Amino acid sequence: MQTAEARTEQTLVQYQQSVQQAFREVEDALVGHRKIREIRPDREALVAANRQSLQIADLRYQEGLSTYLDVLDAQRQLFSSEIDLARTTRDQLTAVV
């Protein structure tokens, strides 16, 4: 009889721990989602600024005012910021799931 009660109590404790762990995971995901929502507008603005920078670098190159290396550097910065934005989107969707 005591063995059965001990098993029941152990099962109850394990269940409570599982529930607490689930609540922690949900809270962590919600906090992560909230932080990503705060970061996303900054990442979007950086992509827009880097697109404009690329356009300016390309115009300067076409007018002979700068080298093609400046265009390539602007492209690299744009691609890097687009990758960061894509990662942010992925993280945001993962947090929702």
Domain map (residue ranges) of the chain? 2-96
Q: Supply the pTM of this predicted model.
A: 0.71
pLDDT at 87 over 80: yes
The average pLDDT across 68-73 equals 97
Confidence of residue 27 (pLDDT cuts 50, 70, 90): confident
Render 12-55 in DSSP notation, one character per residue: HHHHHHHHHHHHHHHHHHHHHHHHHHHHHHHHHHHHHHHHHHHH
